[in-house]
Amino acid sequence: MIADDTARALLEITDAVVEFPVGGRRLRAVDTVSLAVDRGQTFGLIGESGSGKSTLARAVMGLVRGEGTVRIGDQAAESLARPRRGHKRARPAQMVVQDPHSALDPRLTVAASVAEPLRARGTMSRRERSQRSLAMLERVGLPAQLARRYPHQLSGGQKQRVNIARALVSDPEVLICDESVSALDVALQAEILNLLTDLQRDFGLTMLFISHDLAVIAHLADRIGVMYLGHLVELGDAADLLTAPSHPYTEALIAARPEPLPGKARPGKRVILEGEMPSPLTPPSGCPFRTRCRYSREKCAQERPTLRSVGHGSLVACHFAEEIHLQGALRERHPLPALTSAPRSPGTTIGGTA
Amino acid sequence: MSPAIDETRRTIQAAAPAGTQPLLSVSGLTISFRQRGQALEAVRDVSFDIGPGEFVGVVGESGSGKSVTALAVMGLLDPRITQVTGSALLAGKDLLTLGAQELRRTRGRDVGMVFQEPMTALDPVFTVGHQLTETLHAHEKISRRAARERAVEMLAAVGIPDPKLRYSAYPHQLSGGLRQRAMIAIALCCNPRLLIADEPTTAVDVTIQAQLLELLQTLRRERGTSILLITHDIGVIAESCDRMMTMYAGEIVETGPVGDVLENPAHPYTIGLLGAQPSLLTRGKPLTTVPGRLPRQEERTSGCLFEPRCPAALERCARDRQELIELGSAHTARCWRTHDLIGHTTAGGAR
């Protein structure tokens, strides 16, 4: 198993395997995944539902048991097999999940929810906890008067800000975002993405950002891992991987993302994958992607490809990565008009041309 | 209202492809909900046409009125709490004045509908096949055997593998993508002339979304079905529609051929939605946001509804509301700054 470059990594996951018992059989949701994230960087994990990306995050958080190890910072590597849920220990990793509503206790006020991780840790006085929570709420852009409200009195965007505040209040080194902006409208999503970027810079956070939305990952991530059926099938620098993908599944994900571009700026023929992801209970022999792959050959059914280097820093699990020519993401964007309140004068542009 | 604006409105009404009669012609549609003795206006004076075989997309954030518009056209709003005025002519017949029985005959036969969450739209205790034949029996005199054959054909037409097998499957036995295909099969089994699809791909994965969008294109091409697609994702519209409308706070704020609107977006809200879209090219830069939220009823003024959130607003915008003004080739926008905005893209030369 080739691991990612681990020399300076702050978060390192090695050979993670997670299995669930299903009707007497074993469902392998995560199959020998290794990755590493440098301090202050964002690792984007992309894949469709059932690819195992959320399960991997839950294993790192100690919410499900598996095999393999996780190491954060200078701590010793911990086994994923042991439950790591002790209330008293400081948690170097925190998570923000997709549904901001179900993640909050409806009977707790916003302030109480945010203070909860500090209370559980038990090292601060009530006063300190309250001060720290209020400061964090302010930092994520929530006005002070919201602190005494209950979740049902907040909008979806406000609730997600509360979740972010709660995740950051205990000063974690790693923030795991599991589809944290997927339930939000595009305008709101942009606000939360901007907030996360600011917070990452200010707190020096290392992020593992999980999403099915390639656009979000493309915007945020320094490095990207593509998961399919529990396997990491491609891993590399974000810009390289997206503009010059090496795995057919990465290509398909890029092509499937509808771009809001006028006709003449649109890419040529789209690759549309046929069929659906097979059940992880009955994975195909050989390459997990071969049943939907348009380049599939005999060897793909016989031998499972492992992650290997194909030049330019990317690791890819495909037998024929060097032989196939794949289409990547666009490098140019259609310019938008500048929105300023001064008619026809060059002022501060708000709607930039990107 | 000045005669000039009156003229503009009439032109907009006839925005469907020239020379053809529109299949659906919605005019002056206003919808309000009665709540605690107060009337909340959800949709205000919405007018649009859909031509035969045309694929029209509506975009806007939650609460912008796009789904309510579709529900009103389908006659699915509860008349006890809603007041709907205006007209929605489907091939000349006003859907808003139909009686309950006529409406039942129209829905499913003339207009089909697909919703976001197929699991809640399908009945969990009946097989997919039963739900298909039920629709056929409701609208046509057809034998059980013929209905079954048609249903299996329909399942095959929407790309469901092993249609004979899936005919007997219950909704929970299908994946999200297959369920949505089954939904589309039910909506289209009586060959309606209009399909209304409300966020049909929001709950499925991107590769499945791409398949479903292609399926809608194919069905439109082969059957000549007109499609009204409601989505919050401009990318989905860019991918599949001929024309688009942007809705904000219950009003249409921009409409036009998809190419024209994306090439030269002329309303700050459309521009905001496009700018908020993350991508590989926005890395390291903050995304454009549209701060604020939709105005509440009591916050609405005689001015532009978007003015409080608009970075391009002028003094005038807070006082007077612009009508939809024509920018050429059926592209219209409701903004005083429209000509400035368009000027900026062409003058900007940043392409």
Residue-wise pLDDT tens digits, A27-49: 999 999 999 999 999 999 999 88
Q: What is the dihedral of CA A341, A344, A348, A351, to 10 degrees?
A: 80
Interchain contact B265–A (C-beta under 8 A): yes
Tell me whether residues A337 and B282 touch, CB distance under 8 A: no
* Closest residue in A to B345 (Cα–Cα): A337
Nearest CA to B288 among A336, A346, A177? A336
pLDDT on residue B3: 44
Per-residue pLDDT for B57 more than 70?
yes
pLDDT for residue A169: 93
Residue B32 has a pLDDT of: 94
Which residues of B fall within a CB distance of 8 Å from A272?
A: 207, 210-211, 214
Nearest to B311 among A260, A262, A350 (CB): A350
Report how far Cα B292 is from the mean position of its chain's Cα atoms: 24
Cα distance between residue A245 and residue A330, in whole Å: 12
| Range B59-77 average pLDDT | 91
Query: Exposed e or buried b for every residue in A179-211, given b needs 16+ CB within 10 A?
Result: bbbbbbbbbbbbbbbbbbbebbeeeebbbbbbb
**Nearest by CB: A350 against B237, B258, B288:** B288
Cβ pairs A/B, distance under 8 A: 195
Helix, strand, coil share of chain B (percent; to 5): 40, 20, 40
Residue A347 pLDDT > 70 = no
Give A36 to chain B, closest Cα distance, Å: 21
Query: What does the block give as tokens for B127?
Result: 């097989």
Report the run of H or E that residue B38 belongs to, with start and end: strand B38-50
**Percent of chain A having pLDDT more than 70?**
89
Q: Do B109 and B74 form a contact (C-beta atoms < 8 A)?
A: no
Write down the mean pLDDT value for chain B: 87
Within an 8 Å CB–CB cutoff, is residue B339 touching chain A? no
In this prediction, residue A84 carries a pLDDT of 60
- Measured over the CA atoms of residue A129, residue A135, residue A139 and residue A140, the dihedral's sign is positive
* A243/B280 Cβ within 8 A: yes
A49 in contact with B, Cβ within 8 Å? yes
Q: Do B280 and A219 touch (CB under 8 A)?
A: yes
Q: How far apart are CA A55 and CA B140, in angstroms?
A: 49
Contact (CB<8Å) B210/A258: yes
- pLDDT beyond 50 at B299: yes
- Nearest neighbour of A218 by CB, restricted to B237, B278, B289: B278
Using the Cα atoms of residue B177, residue B182, residue B183 and residue B185 in order, give the sign of their dihedral.
positive
Provide mean pLDDT across the span B82-107. 92
Angle at B162 between CA B150 and CA B185, to 5 degrees: 40
Rg of chain B over CA atoms, in angstroms?
Answer: 21
**Closest Cα of chain B to A125: distance in Å?**
36
- Cα angle for residues A222, A224, A230 (degrees, 5° grid): 155
Cross-chain Cβ contact A239/B178 below 8 Å: no
Tell me the per-residue pLDDT of B179-236, one tens digit each, with 9 for 90 and over.
Answer: 999 999 999 999 999 999 999 988 788 888 898 899 999 989 999 999 999 998 999 9
B275/A336 CB distance under 8 A: yes
The answer to whether B178 contacts chain A (CB < 8 Å) is: yes
Which of B161, B271, B351 lies at the smallest CB-CB distance from A351?
Answer: B271
Residues of B in contact with A340 (CB under 8 A): 311-312
Contact B340 A344 (CB under 8 A): yes
- Least confident range of A9-18, A301-310, B53-62, B319-328: B319-328
- For residue A9, pLDDT over 80 is answered with yes
Q: B311 and A220 in contact by Cβ < 8 A?
A: no
pLDDT in tens, A58-86: 999 888 899 999 999 888 888 888 766 55
In Å, how far is A343's CA from the nearest CA of chain B? Answer: 7
Query: What does the pLDDT read at residue B288?
Result: 86
Q: What is the pLDDT of residue A268?
A: 62
Q: Is a pLDDT exceeding 60 seen at residue B84?
A: yes
Closest chain B CA to residue A253: B207
pLDDT in the model for residue A7: 56
Pick the residue from chain B with its C-alpha nearest to A50.
Answer: B205
Please give the model's pTM, rounded to 2 decimal places. Answer: 0.87
* Residue to substitute from A336, A349, A350, interface B, most B β-carbons within 10 A: A336
Paired strand residues for A250: none
Residue A271 buriedness (CB in 10 A; 0-12 / 13-18 / 19+) = middle
The predicted pLDDT at position A264 comes to: 59
Mean pLDDT of chain A: 87
E strand residue ranges, A238-334: 308-309, 315-316
Residue A50, pLDDT above cutoff 50: yes
Nearest C-alpha of chain B: how many angstroms from A226? Answer: 14
Q: How confident is the model at residue A337 (pLDDT cuts 50, 70, 90)?
A: confident
Q: Do A353 and B258 touch (CB under 8 A)?
A: no
What's the DSSP call for residue A332?
-
A218:B342 CB<8 A: no
Chain A residue with Cα closest to B233: A186
Chain B nearest C-alpha distance from A339 (Å): 5
More confident residue, B9 or A262: A262
Contact A283, A292 (CB under 8 A): no
Bigger pLDDT: A341 vs B239: B239
- What is this model's ipTM? 0.84
pLDDT digits (tens, 9 = 90+) for A271-290: 788 888 888 888 999 999 99
User: Which residues numbered 186-205 in B keep a CB inside 8 Å of some CB on A?
Assistant: 205
- 3-class SS of residue A331: coil
Residue-level pLDDT at B13: 43
Interface of A with B in 167-186 (CB under 8 A): 185-186
Q: How far, in Å, CA of B155 to CA of B182, rounded?
A: 7
Neighbouring C-beta atoms of residue A345, cutoff 10 Å: 8
pLDDT band at A135 (very low <50, low <70, confident <90, very high): very high
Residue B4 has pLDDT above 70, yes or no: no
Kindly tell me if the per-residue pLDDT of B306 is higher than 60.
yes
Position B89 pLDDT exceeds 70: yes
pLDDT tops 70 at residue B18: no
Residue A316 has pLDDT above 90, yes or no: yes
pLDDT at position A310 is: 87
Lowest-confidence region among A16-30, B72-86, B281-295: B281-295
CB contacts of A329 in chain B (<8 Å) are 279-280
The answer, for A48 touching chain B at a CB cutoff of 8 Å, is yes
Rounded mean pLDDT of B40-50? 94
Residue A1 has pLDDT above 70, yes or no: no
| A295 φ/ψ angles, rounded to the nearest 5 degrees | -105, 5
Contacts of B272 in chain A (CB under 8 A): 187, 339, 351
pLDDT value of residue B24: 96
Q: What is the pLDDT of residue A91?
A: 61
Span A208-246, pLDDT tens digits: 999 999 999 999 999 999 999 999 999 999 999 998 999
Mark which residues 52-71 of B lie under 8 Å from A by CB. Answer: 61-62
Percent of chain B with pLDDT over 90: 58
A271: its two tokens: 């690759």
Which residue, among B55, B205, B296, B339, would best test binding to A if mutated, counting the most A CBs under 10 Å from its CB?
B205
CA separation for the pair A244, A317 (Å, rounded): 15
Q: Residues 211 to 240 of B: which have CB under 8 A from any A CB?
A: 211, 213-214, 232-239
